[in-house]
Amino acid sequence: MDVWFQDANVGWAVGAFNTLVATRDGGQHWVNSDSVLNNPDQFHLNTVTGDGHGRVFIAGEGGVMFRSLDSGHSWESLEPFYDGSWFGAVYDARHDTLLVFGLRGHLYRSTDFGGTWEPTGAGNSNTLAGGNSSAEGGIVLAGGDGTVLLSADGGQTFRQDSLQDHLSLSSGLSRNGKLILVGQGGVKSGVRSEEKSGADGTDHE
């Protein structure tokens, strides 16, 4: 379902039925590590991310969440507060903020890497599927009905837009002040991130 590397050598991939595999040699060899997670119901793991300095976060079906503070050598279960599915997570290094999101627009923000959470992104009820943060601190989240959420303050507030074609999106990112969105209909690029996502300047590739 997802893959994330904290550096050139150390990385993780997650998937269905509690699948977790890890590598410490840049992906040349992978080790099955699912036994390190307390996931007796074998919930699907949908997303993995981290801060690049040893903190790693995993979330998935049934509201499960796990984190490691030592580059995956040990893992702890985080107390679930939502029984739906988390589809994605984004870490914003500039604001040291972790976001987790999923069904029906559920979106939560943590400033202590999963210790505590608060809801954010109020007003959106469309499922969020994926997203990214840029080095400049801009966060892009994307999902159903062409929904795009943009934040420049570490996820404290979001501006919500929708693509004119309303096709579902899988993910998005901001690069050099422009949006790149991926989903139904392929890749859409060329939208200025400070403008509405449905602007006429969108290029389809």
Element (H, E) at 65: strand 65-68
**pLDDT at residue number 187:** 94
* Backbone phi, psi, residue 145, to 5°: 60, 25
Query: What is the predicted pLDDT for the residue at 203?
Result: 47
pLDDT at 190: 72
Which domains, ranges and CATH numbers included, belong to the chain? Answer: 2-204 (2.130.10.10)
The pLDDT score that the predictor gives to residue 124 is: 92
- In this prediction, residue 177 carries a pLDDT of 80
Q: Does the structure show a pLDDT above 80 at 191?
A: no
pLDDT in tens, 47-57: 999 999 999 99
Q: State both tokens at 160.
A: 């919500």
Q: Is the pLDDT of residue 18 over 90?
A: yes
pLDDT tens digits for 80-106?
999 999 999 999 999 999 999 999 999
Q: Kindly report the average pLDDT of the chain as a whole number.
A: 92
pLDDT of amino acid 87: 98
Q: Check pLDDT > 60 for residue 198.
A: no
pTM of the prediction?
A: 0.90
Q: Residue written as tokens 């996502």?
A: 197
Tell me how far the alpha carbon of residue 161 is from its chain's centroid.
18
Provide the pLDDT for residue 201. 40
Which helix (H) or strand (E) segment holds residue 181: the answer is strand 178-183
Q: What is the pLDDT of residue 204?
A: 43
Q: Looking at residue 192, what is its pLDDT? A: 56
| Strand, helix or coil for residue 16 | coil
Instruction: Write out pLDDT tens, residues 133-171.
Output: 998 779 999 999 999 999 999 999 999 999 999 999 999
